[in-house]
């Protein structure tokens, strides 16, 4: 070891130890490796450190920084895991003042007492000149680190420096190179004096921009040699890096331009690798000289530009060292031709009033927030957005954090871009430069996975898909929302935001593709950097823009469900559900039953902006339905492959689903105790309310994205993972039973607890072949079967986790039951006698039953791939179609015990009885038959344990009901009930817009024909007579008669004394083809009597005192029944009114049959009736009178007057 010759005597042993450590470090890390250790070299480094240390003025009597230690590049890279800074020339108070700038929103960089010495270079290693790309490095014997410097002097390159103030940032998570970088805060201090190159002995001949640009335009007339150009730097482009080369373009203007020279400038391309570092040294506004420039033509363009040569140099312009070169020729005359001009910009016609022009300006500001680092989005000065995505900002990205000061040259200002962005945005294209003017004292924040992935995908949106800024900002926002929805619990950030390639598409980009394809501008040319920087007028993707109306949003499933609930209850108005005058005549029990269930359907257009549904499709084993899932939760959904086709492929589980065509259904269940219609506006009578929210859509309207296994997080559904070992067996499904809670007995002695009902369902079918084992390329051949085992029918029991397969199993389909794991002999042949008794097996026609294990999976098989089974499949389908879609399957079966019926029908209405005693749902359906013009109607009742009903049983939906139990009421009406064997399949969803079709206009005789007539219709007829009239006031609670408004019920008094009016009238009508008895109730009675509202109200008030009036017209005169004595004027009035022409008149009657059609009781045959025609008696056959219920009475055009007989106009 060489001893140091110190000029001063050491005062303390600490200094001696520090000097020895410094000597060792300098010789190992800084001394040239090809030379012997040099005492002078070592002393120069120590002297440099001492000089900087003493410059702070507060060195506490120590001439050496004993608290500091030298650090090598290698030690920084390998041992410094946290960001840090070091300021040799700063005192502690100066550092504290500096650190206060980071607070309160950030954490200052921690201070480390380290000494950094190294060579500043633009060479990335000991390579040739071609490795230069414009980056800067600090280098010593142990390695090199990339660095950023505010103001670079080109004379510093290649020299050894002490860096008095710097910070080190370890590699960020997004940095694939794994290299940290240095930020050099202050100008480096040279260890050895820098050699200053002497100026030229004679003035340097130069061309100024105006003459240089003319020389380019007239290059064909003169031989243009290499020249020196001088001028003020007025424009500096971004550093453009492509696969082949890197370059930037600068523009020089006149030093003191006159009016005619104000726009004169000349552009120079710098693409020599050794000269790319000039981009860091150039400062707009300063004057420079570039030497030995040549003229070159750009490939693919019609013009020439000045370009540097390998021998070119950059220097500051000193007027005394240059002399303008004098050229002679006609080209010196001023011309107005501009160079260059855009050739295709003016060809594109944009819609007037829609497109806006951005403003080009210069701006200096401080970064105050990082909005999305991979996408290049930041916040400037707390009020502006900054987008760097339209430049190549890889080197700048590692520096960007709050506190960084930037100077933006030729940046575009865009205001009101829309798409959810409210603030103005500054965006820089390739023409403008982003210059670093100050580092941040803040420590970089912890980066989440969302902030570290996706940079290549965002670049793809800009450079390949050519998105404009408004659409790009919206796409970035949506991708961020989708990543928060799906990652990391369902998908991984890295795969979701990966770069999209033909063989490896990005899930995030695929979700956005339908919207981007619809909104992206057509035929937008690929960006050309030379045109974007050089051509005038300037044209780039940021030059013109249109305010973006947000096309759609992707809310979380929890947010969407909550919004649906909010809208459902906000729109819940009992007065609208039960409008007057209908509600005024309903007792409280009927009133509350009518309010017990209601629903709304929200299409995407009901939201602003329209909503899109996105989630991972999973199958719930707790509910037995399909669900879309994201991080916020799950949303139940009902899917159809397409119209009338159910979902059958279990491989859809785990797929990513996106759809903009869906219906968000909210079913409202309300338990209320409204006393009467008068209190419908008081919410205090609502005791309980809950909502069921789900979505329904067609698979054909959705984007289905299979997610590779590696994309799933560890918490993904286990059923999506394929198995490498296992065995399987094919079966053909013939029948599927209801999903409900059933009792299953357990083995004796296993547990003392009483078993609880378990959610489960059964399917029956037959095995197709024997067991198959898993092989490398697929499934092996089936095992041979004995004769007695062929076509063996089996009952499969699904309970527990296997309930998740319920939505995929449908009759007529062939499935493969897969059991993972090692092969087990006769796995699919074991009889599960512990789960079911022998009687259900006999009823199902099955030999044995099998309980499907939780880990088993299902696969859909195509019947076309099974030629031996194709005939069975077709035969089964044909027999089912014949049985289920027969014209009269809902009528009387062949035997009384054969009470199971199947049919397809459209749901017309749904009502609910929800009381503490009984819970029941009634569906009124119109049965679709093949040979009937009019659809018969039927009531279907659903009770426990089938409640709540399956999803999708909504008015307007078309549903197939399989194996309902048909029953006959005491009034001989046919109705159906759910039972355990019932299977329901939704065929189509309710239409989004319902258009009420007018009722068919018929003759009454059409209802007496053998075929089915309409259940509701309109007929023009004449009122022959009034058969009976009843007017009464009843208690709204118990429906007892209320004379003088008081309930007369005996026993406990009613809780309310509210009374309501009710009325009924029976009319005999005919239309010339048949007679009918029509019953009108409540407010239809006023129309039947021809009374206006005031007359009707007055009449009811007269009835309030007796409480009840009944008139029966059995002949001449009327028979009176009442609860009290009624004065003769009222009787006379009603009798006269019912026999007056104002009642016995032509009307247009809308009606429905009092009884639903059935063949339970045969139609009454025509009866013989005697008529007297003058002196001759006639005997003829007369059909029985029809029994109709009035829906509406309208005045006929032949009898427009509807006034009362004895009153004036209301």
Residue 1119: how many other CB atoms lie within 10 Å: 11
624: left (phi over 0), alpha (psi -120 to 50) or beta: left
**Exposed/middle/buried for 1202, CB within 10 Å: 0-12, 13-18, 19+?**
middle
- pLDDT exceeds 70 at position 579: yes
How far apart CA 1143 and CA 1137 sit, in angstroms, is: 7
Q: Given pLDDT bands bounded at 50, 70 and 90, which one contains residue 1200?
A: low
- pLDDT exceeds 70 at position 754: no
592: left (phi over 0), alpha (psi -120 to 50) or beta: alpha
pTM of the prediction? 0.85
Q: Given pLDDT bands bounded at 50, 70 and 90, which one contains residue 1040?
A: confident
How far apart CA 47 and CA 873 sit, in angstroms, is: 96
- pLDDT exceeds 50 at position 255: yes
- List pLDDT tens digits, range 14-25: 889 999 999 999
How far apart CA 844 and CA 795 sit, in angstroms, is: 8
Which ranges in 867-1003 belong to alpha helices (H)? 870-884
Could you give the percent of the chain with pLDDT greater than 70? 83
Nearest to 289 by CA among 219, 239, 196, 227: 227
- pLDDT exceeds 90 at position 890: no
Given this model, what pLDDT does residue 1196 score?
Answer: 84
What is the three-state SS of 505-524?
CCHHHHHHHHHHHHHCCCCC
**Phi and psi, residue 1012, nearest 5°:** -75, 130
Element (H, E) at 1119: strand 1119-1122
Q: DSSP secondary-structure letter at 1158?
A: -
- List pLDDT tens digits, range 218-242: 766 556 678 999 999 999 999 998 8
- pLDDT exceeds 50 at position 1123: no
Given this model, what pLDDT does residue 89 score?
Answer: 84
Highest mean pLDDT among 11-15, 719-723, 1202-1206: 11-15
Average pLDDT over residues 688-702: 94
- List pLDDT tens digits, range 142-195: 999 999 999 999 999 999 999 999 999 998 766 666 789 999 999 999 999 988
Q: Is 838 helix (H, G, I), strand (E, B) or coil?
A: helix
Given this model, what pLDDT does residue 1204 score?
Answer: 44
Q: Given pLDDT bands bounded at 50, 70 and 90, which one contains residue 339?
A: very low
Nearest to 594 by CA among 687, 694, 668: 668
Between 374 and 260, whose confidence is greater?
374
Contact between 434 and 393 under an 8 Å Cβ cutoff? The reply is yes
- List pLDDT tens digits, range 720-752: 444 457 899 999 999 999 999 888 765 444 555
- pLDDT exceeds 60 at position 1169: yes
Given this model, what pLDDT does residue 1084 score?
Answer: 93
Nearest to 109 by CA among 413, 440, 503: 440
- List pLDDT tens digits, range 490-548: 888 888 888 888 778 889 999 999 999 888 766 566 788 888 898 888 889 999 999 99
Question: Read out DSSP for 246-311?
Answer: EEEEEEEE-SS--STTTT-EEEEEE--GGGTTHHHH--TTSEEEEEEEEEEEPTT-S-EEEEE-TT
56: left (phi over 0), alpha (psi -120 to 50) or beta: alpha
- pLDDT exceeds 70 at position 866: no
**Exposed/middle/buried for 805, CB within 10 Å: 0-12, 13-18, 19+?**
buried
**Exposed/middle/buried for 1201, CB within 10 Å: 0-12, 13-18, 19+?**
exposed
Average pLDDT over residues 1141-1168: 78
How far apart CA 550 and CA 481 sit, in angstroms, is: 14
How far apart CA 958 and CA 597 sit, in angstroms, is: 19
Q: DSSP secondary-structure letter at 418?
A: B
Contact between 887 and 852 under an 8 Å Cβ cutoff? The reply is no
Average pLDDT over residues 80-104: 89
- List pLDDT tens digits, range 938-980: 899 999 889 899 999 999 999 999 999 988 888 778 889 999 8
- pLDDT exceeds 70 at position 342: no
Question: Read out DSSP for 667-689?
Answer: EEEEEE---SGGGTT-GGGEEEE
| Pick from 98-112, 416-430, 841-855, 987-1001: least confident | 841-855
Q: Is 210 helix (H, G, I), strand (E, B) or coil?
A: helix
- pLDDT exceeds 90 at position 844: no
Residue ranges of E strands in 20-142: 69-70, 84-87, 114-121, 136-140
Q: Is 1185 helix (H, G, I), strand (E, B) or coil?
A: coil
- pLDDT exceeds 90 at position 1043: no
- pLDDT exceeds 70 at position 1153: yes
Average pLDDT over residues 650-668: 94
Given this model, what pLDDT does residue 714 score?
Answer: 42
CA-to-CA dists, residue 634 to 155, 699, 834, 946, 1057, angstroms? 64, 18, 35, 23, 48
- What is the rounded average pLDDT for all residues in the chain? 83
The percent helix, strand, coil of the chain (3-state, each to 5) is 20, 35, 45
Residue 663: how many other CB atoms lie within 10 Å: 20
Contact between 148 and 121 under an 8 Å Cβ cutoff? The reply is no
Q: Given pLDDT bands bounded at 50, 70 and 90, which one contains residue 351?
A: very low
Q: DSSP secondary-structure letter at 220?
A: T
Which ranges in 499-587 belong to alpha helices (H)? 507-519, 529-534, 557-570, 574-577
Given this model, what pLDDT does residue 843 score?
Answer: 53
Given this model, what pLDDT does residue 830 score?
Answer: 59
Given this model, what pLDDT does residue 637 score?
Answer: 95
Which ranges in 751-858 belong to alpha helices (H)? 838-844
Nearest to 621 by CA among 419, 728, 758, 815: 758
Given this model, what pLDDT does residue 1205 score?
Answer: 43
1113: left (phi over 0), alpha (psi -120 to 50) or beta: beta
Residue ranges of E strands in 549-662: 597-602, 613-619, 626-630, 633-642, 645-646, 656-659
Can you read off the two tokens belonging to residue 1010? 């053998």
> First and final CA of the chain: distance in angstroms?
124
Given this model, what pLDDT does residue 346 score?
Answer: 39
Burial 949-971 (b: 16+ CB within 10 A, else e): bbbbbbeebbbbbbbbbbeeeee
Q: Is 781 helix (H, G, I), strand (E, B) or coil?
A: coil
Contact between 565 and 691 under an 8 Å Cβ cutoff? The reply is yes
- List pLDDT tens digits, range 1137-1148: 998 999 999 999
- Residues paired with 100 in a beta bridge: none
Which sign does the torsion angle of CA 479, 485, 487, 491 carry?
negative
Residues whose CB falls within 8 Å of the CB of residue 1050, separated by 6 or more in sequence, listed in order: none
Given this model, what pLDDT does residue 263 score?
Answer: 63
**Residue that the structure tokens 């619809």 belong to:** 518
How far apart CA 1190 and CA 1193 sit, in angstroms, is: 7
Between 1056 and 778, whose confidence is greater?
778
Residues whose CB falls within 8 Å of the CB of residue 269, separated by 6 or more in sequence, listed in order: 247, 248, 249, 296, 298, 305, 306, 307, 308
Residues whose CB falls within 8 Å of the CB of residue 814, separated by 6 or more in sequence, listed in order: 730, 731, 732, 733, 768, 860, 861, 862, 863, 866, 869, 873
How far apart CA 703 and CA 514 sit, in angstroms, is: 9
Q: Given pLDDT bands bounded at 50, 70 and 90, which one contains residue 333?
A: low
**Residue that the structure tokens 């899109």 belong to:** 612
How far apart CA 787 and CA 770 sit, in angstroms, is: 12
Cα 518 to chain center, whole Å? Answer: 17
Could you give the percent of the chain with pLDDT greater than 90? 46
Given this model, what pLDDT does residue 1208 score?
Answer: 45
Q: Is 391 helix (H, G, I), strand (E, B) or coil?
A: coil
How far apart CA 217 and CA 200 sit, in angstroms, is: 30
- pLDDT exceeds 50 at position 3: no
Element (H, E) at 1102: helix 1093-1104
Given this model, what pLDDT does residue 666 score?
Answer: 97
């Amino acid at each position: 070891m060489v001893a140091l010759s110190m000029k001063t005597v050491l005062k303390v042993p600490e200094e001696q130890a520090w000097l020895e450590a410094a000597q060792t470090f300098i010789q190992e890390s800084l001394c040239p490796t090809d030379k012997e250790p040099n005492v002078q070299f070592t002393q120069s480094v120590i002297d440099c450190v001492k000089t900087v240390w003493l410059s702070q003025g507060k060195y506490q009597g120590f001439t050496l920084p004993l608290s500091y230690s030298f650090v090598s590049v290698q030690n920084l890279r390998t041992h410094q895991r946290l960001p840090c800074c070091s300021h040799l020339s700063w005192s502690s108070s100066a550092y504290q003042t500096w650190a206060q700038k980071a607070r309160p929103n950030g954490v200052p960089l921690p201070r480390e007492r380290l000494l950094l010495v190294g060579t500043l270079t633009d060479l990335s290693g000991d390579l040739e000149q071609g490795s230069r790309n414009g980056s800067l490095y600090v280098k010593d014997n142990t390695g090199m680190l990339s660095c950023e410097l505010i103001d670079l002097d080109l004379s510093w390159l290649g020299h050894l420096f002490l860096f008095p103030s710097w910070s080190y940032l370890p590699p960020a998570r997004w940095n694939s190179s794994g290299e940290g970088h240095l930020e050099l805060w202050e100008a480096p201090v040279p260890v050895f004096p820098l050699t200053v190159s002497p100026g030229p002995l004679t003035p340097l001949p130069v061309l100024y921009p105006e003459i240089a640009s003319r020389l380019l335009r007239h290059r064909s007339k003169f031989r243009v040699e290499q020249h020196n150009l001088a001028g003020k730097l007025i424009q500096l482009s971004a550093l453009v890096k492509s696969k082949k080369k890197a370059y930037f373009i600068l523009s020089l203007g006149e030093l003191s331009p006159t009016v005619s020279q104000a726009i004169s400038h000349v552009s120079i391309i710098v693409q020599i690798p050794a000269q790319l570092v000039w981009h860091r040294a150039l400062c707009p506004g300063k004057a420079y000289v570039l030497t030995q420039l040549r003229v070159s033509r750009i490939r693919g363009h019609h013009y020439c530009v000045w370009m540097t040569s390998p021998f070119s140099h950059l220097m500051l312009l000193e007027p005394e060292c240059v002399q303008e070169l004098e050229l002679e020729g006609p080209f010196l005359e001023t011309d107005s031709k501009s160079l260059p001009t855009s050739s295709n910009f003016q060809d594109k016609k944009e819609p007037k009033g829609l497109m806006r022009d951005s403003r080009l300006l210069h701006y200096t500001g401080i970064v105050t927030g990082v909005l999305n680092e991979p996408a290049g989005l930041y916040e400037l000065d707390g009020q502006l957005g900054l987008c760097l995505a339209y430049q190549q900002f890889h080197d700048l990205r590692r520096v960007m954090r709050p506190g960084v000061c930037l100077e933006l040259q030729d940046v575009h200002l865009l205001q009101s871009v829309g798409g959810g962005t409210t603030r103005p945005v500054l965006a820089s294209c390739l023409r403008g430069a982003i210059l670093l003017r100050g580092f941040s004292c803040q420590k970089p924040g912890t980066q989440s996975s969302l902030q570290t992935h996706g940079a290549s995908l965002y670049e793809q949106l800009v450079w390949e898909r050519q998105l404009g800024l408004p659409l790009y900002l919206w796409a970035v926002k949506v991708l961020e929302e989708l990543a928060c929805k799906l990652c990391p619990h369902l998908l991984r950030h890295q795969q979701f935001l990966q770069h999209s390639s033909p063989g490896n598409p990005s899930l995030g980009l695929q979700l956005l593709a339908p919207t981007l394809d619809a909104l992206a501008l057509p035929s937008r040319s690929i960006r050309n950097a030379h045109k974007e920087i050089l051509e005038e007028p300037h044209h780039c993707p940021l030059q013109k823009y249109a305010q973006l109306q947000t096309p759609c949003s992707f809310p979380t499933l929890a947010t969407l469900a909550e919004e649906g609930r909010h809208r459902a209850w906000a729109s819940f108005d009992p007065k609208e559900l039960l409008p007057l005058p209908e509600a005024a005549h309903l007792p409280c029990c009927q009133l509350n039953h009518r309010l017990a269930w209601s629903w709304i359907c929200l299409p995407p257009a009901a939201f602003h902006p329209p909503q899109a549904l996105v989630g991972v499709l999973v199958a719930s084993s707790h509910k037995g339905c399909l669900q879309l899932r994201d991080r916020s939760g799950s949303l139940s959904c009902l899917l159809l492959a397409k119209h009338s086709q159910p979902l059958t492929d279990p491989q859809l589980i785990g797929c990513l689903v996106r759809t903009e065509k869906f219906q968000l259904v909210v079913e409202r269940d309300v338990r209320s105790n409204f006393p009467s219609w008068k209190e419908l506006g008081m919410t205090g009578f609502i005791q309980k309310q809950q909502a069921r929210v789900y979505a329904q859509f067609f698979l054909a309207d959705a984007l289905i994205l299979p997610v590779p296994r590696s994309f799933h997080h560890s918490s993904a559904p286990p059923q999506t993972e394929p198995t490498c070992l296992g065995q399987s067996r094919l079966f053909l499904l013939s029948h599927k039973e209801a999903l409900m809670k059933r009792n299953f007995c357990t083995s004796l002695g296993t547990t003392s607890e009483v078993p609880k009902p378990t959610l489960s369902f059964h399917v029956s079918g037959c095995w197709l072949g024997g067991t198959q084992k898993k092989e490398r390329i697929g499934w092996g051949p089936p095992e041979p079967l004995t004769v007695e085992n062929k076509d063996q029918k089996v009952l499969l029991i699904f309970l527990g986790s296997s309930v998740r397969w319920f939505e995929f199993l449908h009759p007529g389909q062939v499935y493969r039951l897969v059991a993972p794991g090692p092969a087990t002999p006769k796995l699919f042949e074991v009889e599960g006698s512990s789960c079911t008794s022998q009687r259900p097996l006999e009823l199902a026609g099955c030999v044995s039953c099998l309980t499907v294990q939780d880990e088993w999976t299902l696969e859909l098989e195509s019947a076309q791939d099974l030629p031996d089974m194709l005939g069975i499949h077709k035969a089964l389908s044909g027999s089912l179609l014949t049985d289920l879609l027969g014209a009269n399957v809902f009528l009387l079966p062949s035997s009384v015990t054969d009470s199971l019926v199947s049919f397809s029908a459209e749901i017309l209405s749904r009502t609910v009885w929800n009381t503490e005693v009984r819970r029941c749902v009634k569906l009124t359906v119109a049965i679709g038959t093949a040979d009937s013009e009019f659809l018969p109607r039927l009531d279907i009742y659903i009770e426990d344990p089938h409640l709540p009903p399956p999803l999708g049983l909504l008015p307007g939906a078309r549903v197939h009901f399989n194996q309902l139990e048909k029953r006959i009421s005491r009034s001989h009406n046919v109705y159906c009930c759910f039972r355990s064997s019932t299977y329901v399949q939704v065929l189509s969803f309710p239409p989004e817009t319902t258009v009420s079709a007018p009722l068919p206009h018929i003759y009454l005789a059409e209802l007496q024909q053998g075929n089915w007539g309409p259940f509701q219709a309109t007929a023009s007829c004449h009122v022959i007579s009034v058969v009976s009239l009843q007017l009464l006031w009843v208690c709204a609670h118990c429906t007892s008669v209320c004379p003088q408004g008081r309930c007369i019920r005996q026993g406990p008094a009613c809780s309310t004394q509210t009374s309501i009016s009710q009325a009924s009238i029976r009319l005999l009508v005919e239309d010339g083809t048949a007679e009918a008895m029509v019953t009108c109730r409540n407010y239809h009675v006023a129309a039947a009597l021809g009374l206006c509202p005031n007359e009707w109200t007055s009449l009811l008030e007269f009835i309030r005192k007796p409480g009840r009036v009944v008139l029966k017209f059995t002949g001449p005169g009327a028979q009176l029944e009442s609860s009290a004595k009624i004065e003769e004027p009222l009787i006379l009035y009603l009798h006269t009114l019912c026999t007056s022409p104002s009642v016995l008149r032509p009307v247009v009657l809308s009606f429905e049959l009092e009884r639903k059609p059935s063949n339970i009781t045969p139609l009454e045959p025509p009866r013989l009736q005697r008529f007297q025609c003058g002196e001759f008696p006639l005997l003829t056959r007369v059909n029985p009178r029809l029994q109709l219920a009035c829906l509406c009475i309208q005045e006929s055009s032949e009898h427009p007057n509807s006034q009362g007989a004895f009153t004036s106009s209301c």
